[in-house]
Structure 1
Amino acid sequence: MKNFILLAIVFFIQQGLFSQDISGNWLSEDTSRIYSIYKTRNSYEAKIFSSTRENDKEGILIIRKAKKKKNKYKGIIIAVDDGLERSVIITTDRKKVNTLKLKIRRLIIFPVTIYWHKQTVGQNS
Protein backbone atom coordinates (compact mmCIF):
# COMPACT_ATOMS: atom_id res chain seq x y z
CA MET A 1 0.00 0.00 0.00
CA LYS A 2 2.84 2.39 0.86
CA ASN A 3 4.45 1.68 -2.51
CA PHE A 4 1.19 2.46 -4.30
CA ILE A 5 0.79 5.78 -2.49
CA LEU A 6 4.41 6.71 -3.20
CA LEU A 7 3.99 5.79 -6.86
CA ALA A 8 0.79 7.85 -7.10
CA ILE A 9 2.51 10.88 -5.52
CA VAL A 10 5.43 10.63 -7.95
CA PHE A 11 3.00 10.32 -10.88
CA PHE A 12 1.05 13.44 -9.91
CA ILE A 13 4.22 15.46 -9.29
CA GLN A 14 5.53 14.41 -12.70
CA GLN A 15 2.25 15.36 -14.39
CA GLY A 16 2.38 18.77 -12.75
CA LEU A 17 5.91 19.36 -13.97
CA PHE A 18 5.12 18.46 -17.56
CA SER A 19 1.78 20.27 -17.77
CA GLN A 20 3.37 23.68 -17.34
CA ASP A 21 1.16 26.68 -17.99
CA ILE A 22 2.20 28.41 -21.21
CA SER A 23 1.03 31.88 -20.15
CA GLY A 24 3.70 34.53 -19.77
CA ASN A 25 6.57 36.04 -21.72
CA TRP A 26 8.74 33.83 -23.92
CA LEU A 27 11.99 34.57 -25.77
CA SER A 28 12.64 33.41 -29.32
CA GLU A 29 15.65 31.13 -29.80
CA ASP A 30 17.83 34.04 -30.95
CA THR A 31 16.38 36.30 -28.18
CA SER A 32 15.41 38.96 -30.74
CA ARG A 33 11.72 38.72 -29.87
CA ILE A 34 9.69 38.46 -26.71
CA TYR A 35 6.28 36.85 -27.16
CA SER A 36 3.46 37.31 -24.68
CA ILE A 37 1.16 34.30 -24.37
CA TYR A 38 -2.14 34.84 -22.60
CA LYS A 39 -5.37 32.93 -22.03
CA THR A 40 -8.51 34.10 -23.78
CA ARG A 41 -11.98 32.80 -23.01
CA ASN A 42 -11.40 29.25 -24.27
CA SER A 43 -7.95 29.23 -25.88
CA TYR A 44 -4.53 30.90 -25.84
CA GLU A 45 -3.09 33.66 -28.01
CA ALA A 46 0.39 35.12 -28.41
CA LYS A 47 1.51 38.55 -29.55
CA ILE A 48 4.89 40.13 -30.09
CA PHE A 49 5.59 41.95 -26.83
CA SER A 50 8.89 43.45 -28.03
CA SER A 51 11.40 42.88 -30.80
CA THR A 52 14.80 44.06 -31.97
CA ARG A 53 14.02 43.05 -35.55
CA GLU A 54 13.68 46.03 -37.85
CA ASN A 55 10.35 45.21 -39.52
CA ASP A 56 8.53 43.79 -36.49
CA LYS A 57 5.64 45.62 -34.86
CA GLU A 58 4.74 45.11 -31.22
CA GLY A 59 1.26 43.76 -30.59
CA ILE A 60 1.06 41.68 -33.78
CA LEU A 61 -0.89 38.45 -33.24
CA ILE A 62 1.39 35.42 -33.71
CA ILE A 63 -0.64 32.51 -32.31
CA ARG A 64 -4.41 32.16 -32.12
CA LYS A 65 -6.93 29.52 -31.12
CA ALA A 66 -4.38 27.39 -29.26
CA LYS A 67 -6.48 24.92 -27.31
CA LYS A 68 -5.16 22.48 -24.76
CA LYS A 69 -5.65 18.79 -25.47
CA LYS A 70 -3.94 16.55 -22.92
CA ASN A 71 -0.35 17.85 -22.69
CA LYS A 72 -0.41 19.67 -26.04
CA TYR A 73 -1.77 22.95 -27.32
CA LYS A 74 -3.00 22.93 -30.92
CA GLY A 75 -3.60 26.17 -32.75
CA ILE A 76 -2.65 28.48 -35.61
CA ILE A 77 0.66 30.34 -35.95
CA ILE A 78 0.85 33.39 -38.19
CA ALA A 79 4.07 34.30 -40.03
CA VAL A 80 5.14 37.88 -39.32
CA ASP A 81 6.61 38.56 -42.75
CA ASP A 82 3.80 37.33 -45.02
CA GLY A 83 0.82 36.63 -42.74
CA LEU A 84 0.55 32.99 -43.80
CA GLU A 85 -1.18 30.75 -41.28
CA ARG A 86 0.01 27.27 -40.38
CA SER A 87 -1.01 24.72 -37.79
CA VAL A 88 1.18 24.56 -34.70
CA ILE A 89 1.48 22.08 -31.87
CA ILE A 90 2.96 23.50 -28.67
CA THR A 91 4.38 21.28 -25.95
CA THR A 92 6.65 21.79 -22.99
CA ASP A 93 10.10 20.34 -23.52
CA ARG A 94 10.64 17.56 -20.99
CA LYS A 95 14.42 17.80 -21.26
CA LYS A 96 14.63 21.57 -20.78
CA VAL A 97 12.72 23.33 -18.00
CA ASN A 98 10.86 26.50 -19.01
CA THR A 99 11.08 25.74 -22.72
CA LEU A 100 8.24 25.52 -25.22
CA LYS A 101 8.59 23.34 -28.29
CA LEU A 102 6.60 24.59 -31.28
CA LYS A 103 6.14 22.17 -34.16
CA ILE A 104 4.98 24.03 -37.27
CA ARG A 105 3.66 22.43 -40.45
CA ARG A 106 5.42 24.51 -43.12
CA LEU A 107 5.75 21.85 -45.76
CA ILE A 108 3.45 18.93 -46.41
CA ILE A 109 5.81 16.31 -45.00
CA PHE A 110 8.47 18.03 -42.92
CA PRO A 111 7.49 20.02 -39.83
CA VAL A 112 9.78 22.72 -38.48
CA THR A 113 10.51 22.77 -34.75
CA ILE A 114 11.42 25.95 -32.89
CA TYR A 115 11.94 26.61 -29.20
CA TRP A 116 10.84 29.51 -27.03
CA HIS A 117 12.38 30.03 -23.60
CA LYS A 118 10.59 31.45 -20.56
CA GLN A 119 11.67 35.02 -19.89
CA THR A 120 13.10 35.53 -16.44
CA VAL A 121 13.24 38.82 -14.53
CA GLY A 122 15.76 41.19 -16.10
CA GLN A 123 16.26 39.03 -19.18
CA ASN A 124 15.93 41.13 -22.39
CA SER A 125 13.26 43.31 -20.84
Structure 2
Amino acid sequence: MAYNSKSMSARMNDYMNLRSLPAAIGIVFTVASLYLFGAITGLTFGWGVEYQIADTHALWVSLGAYLLAFASSETRSFDKYDRGEQAMIAAGPLLMLLSQHWTWLVDTMAANSPHFAIVAFLISFGSYAVLVQ
Protein backbone atom coordinates (compact mmCIF):
# COMPACT_ATOMS: atom_id res chain seq x y z
CA MET A 1 0.00 0.00 0.00
CA ALA A 2 1.41 3.38 -1.00
CA TYR A 3 1.59 6.20 1.51
CA ASN A 4 0.16 9.50 0.35
CA SER A 5 2.26 12.33 1.77
CA LYS A 6 0.16 15.25 0.55
CA SER A 7 -0.56 17.90 3.12
CA MET A 8 -4.09 18.94 3.98
CA SER A 9 -3.71 22.23 2.08
CA ALA A 10 -2.52 20.34 -1.02
CA ARG A 11 -5.56 18.08 -0.78
CA MET A 12 -7.87 21.08 -0.44
CA ASN A 13 -6.18 22.67 -3.45
CA ASP A 14 -6.83 19.49 -5.44
CA TYR A 15 -10.45 19.56 -4.33
CA MET A 16 -10.86 23.21 -5.33
CA ASN A 17 -9.41 22.42 -8.76
CA LEU A 18 -12.38 20.17 -9.35
CA ARG A 19 -14.52 23.30 -9.25
CA SER A 20 -17.18 21.41 -7.35
CA LEU A 21 -17.22 23.83 -4.44
CA PRO A 22 -17.88 26.89 -6.66
CA ALA A 23 -20.61 24.93 -8.43
CA ALA A 24 -22.25 24.07 -5.11
CA ILE A 25 -21.98 27.70 -4.02
CA GLY A 26 -23.66 28.70 -7.28
CA ILE A 27 -26.57 26.38 -6.59
CA VAL A 28 -26.99 27.76 -3.07
CA PHE A 29 -26.83 31.33 -4.42
CA THR A 30 -29.40 30.59 -7.11
CA VAL A 31 -31.90 28.90 -4.78
CA ALA A 32 -31.55 31.59 -2.09
CA SER A 33 -31.92 34.36 -4.70
CA LEU A 34 -34.97 32.70 -6.24
CA TYR A 35 -36.51 32.61 -2.77
CA LEU A 36 -35.43 36.20 -2.10
CA PHE A 37 -37.14 37.50 -5.25
CA GLY A 38 -40.30 35.45 -4.76
CA ALA A 39 -39.90 32.67 -7.32
CA ILE A 40 -39.83 30.05 -4.56
CA THR A 41 -42.19 30.39 -1.62
CA GLY A 42 -42.66 28.44 1.56
CA LEU A 43 -39.23 26.78 1.74
CA THR A 44 -39.40 24.67 4.89
CA PHE A 45 -36.77 22.44 6.45
CA GLY A 46 -38.30 19.29 7.92
CA TRP A 47 -36.77 16.42 9.86
CA GLY A 48 -38.18 17.63 13.15
CA VAL A 49 -36.91 21.19 12.78
CA GLU A 50 -39.90 22.57 10.84
CA TYR A 51 -38.14 25.83 10.09
CA GLN A 52 -39.48 28.03 7.29
CA ILE A 53 -36.79 30.25 5.83
CA ALA A 54 -37.32 34.00 6.20
CA ASP A 55 -36.56 36.59 3.53
CA THR A 56 -33.80 38.04 5.69
CA HIS A 57 -32.14 34.64 5.98
CA ALA A 58 -32.36 34.15 2.21
CA LEU A 59 -30.68 37.54 1.82
CA TRP A 60 -27.82 36.58 4.12
CA VAL A 61 -27.39 33.19 2.46
CA SER A 62 -27.30 34.85 -0.99
CA LEU A 63 -24.77 37.45 0.13
CA GLY A 64 -22.67 34.82 1.90
CA ALA A 65 -22.63 32.62 -1.18
CA TYR A 66 -21.71 35.69 -3.26
CA LEU A 67 -18.79 36.43 -0.94
CA LEU A 68 -17.61 32.80 -0.97
CA ALA A 69 -17.82 32.74 -4.76
CA PHE A 70 -15.69 35.87 -4.96
CA ALA A 71 -13.16 34.37 -2.56
CA SER A 72 -12.96 31.15 -4.57
CA SER A 73 -12.89 32.84 -7.99
CA GLU A 74 -9.67 32.90 -9.93
CA THR A 75 -9.68 36.69 -10.07
CA ARG A 76 -10.11 37.55 -6.36
CA SER A 77 -9.49 41.22 -7.03
CA PHE A 78 -12.12 43.79 -7.90
CA ASP A 79 -9.52 45.83 -9.79
CA LYS A 80 -8.97 43.05 -12.35
CA TYR A 81 -12.48 43.52 -13.75
CA ASP A 82 -13.23 46.25 -16.28
CA ARG A 83 -15.65 49.10 -15.43
CA GLY A 84 -18.74 47.44 -16.88
CA GLU A 85 -18.04 44.20 -15.01
CA GLN A 86 -17.41 46.12 -11.79
CA ALA A 87 -20.75 47.88 -12.16
CA MET A 88 -22.52 44.56 -12.80
CA ILE A 89 -20.79 42.90 -9.83
CA ALA A 90 -21.80 45.78 -7.54
CA ALA A 91 -25.38 45.84 -8.88
CA GLY A 92 -26.21 42.29 -7.76
CA PRO A 93 -25.66 42.59 -3.99
CA LEU A 94 -26.95 46.17 -4.00
CA LEU A 95 -30.19 45.05 -5.64
CA MET A 96 -30.52 42.16 -3.19
CA LEU A 97 -30.08 44.50 -0.22
CA LEU A 98 -32.42 47.14 -1.61
CA SER A 99 -35.08 44.54 -2.43
CA GLN A 100 -35.43 43.89 1.29
CA HIS A 101 -34.81 47.31 2.81
CA TRP A 102 -35.98 50.01 0.40
CA THR A 103 -39.75 50.39 0.71
CA TRP A 104 -40.25 51.79 -2.80
CA LEU A 105 -38.49 48.81 -4.37
CA VAL A 106 -40.38 46.32 -2.19
CA ASP A 107 -43.71 47.91 -3.18
CA THR A 108 -42.74 48.08 -6.86
CA MET A 109 -41.77 44.40 -6.90
CA ALA A 110 -45.08 43.49 -5.27
CA ALA A 111 -47.17 45.69 -7.59
CA ASN A 112 -45.67 44.60 -10.92
CA SER A 113 -46.62 40.94 -10.58
CA PRO A 114 -43.54 38.87 -11.27
CA HIS A 115 -41.98 41.04 -13.99
CA PHE A 116 -39.85 43.34 -11.85
CA ALA A 117 -38.82 40.47 -9.56
CA ILE A 118 -37.75 38.41 -12.59
CA VAL A 119 -35.63 41.29 -13.89
CA ALA A 120 -34.13 41.77 -10.41
CA PHE A 121 -33.27 38.07 -10.20
CA LEU A 122 -31.72 38.10 -13.67
CA ILE A 123 -29.57 41.11 -12.75
CA SER A 124 -28.37 39.43 -9.55
CA PHE A 125 -27.74 36.14 -11.36
CA GLY A 126 -25.89 37.97 -14.15
CA SER A 127 -23.84 39.72 -11.51
CA TYR A 128 -22.91 36.34 -10.02
CA ALA A 129 -22.00 34.99 -13.46
CA VAL A 130 -19.67 37.93 -14.13
CA LEU A 131 -18.14 37.51 -10.68
CA VAL A 132 -17.21 33.85 -11.10
CA GLN A 133 -15.96 34.01 -14.69
Output the TM-score relative to the length of structure 2.
0.25
- Relative to total residues, which structure has the larger strand share, 1 or 2? 1
Structure (1 or 2) with the greater helix fraction: 2
Q: Which has the higher contact order (CA 8 A, sep 6+)?
A: 2
Flag the structure with larger Rg.
2
TM-score by length of 1: 0.25
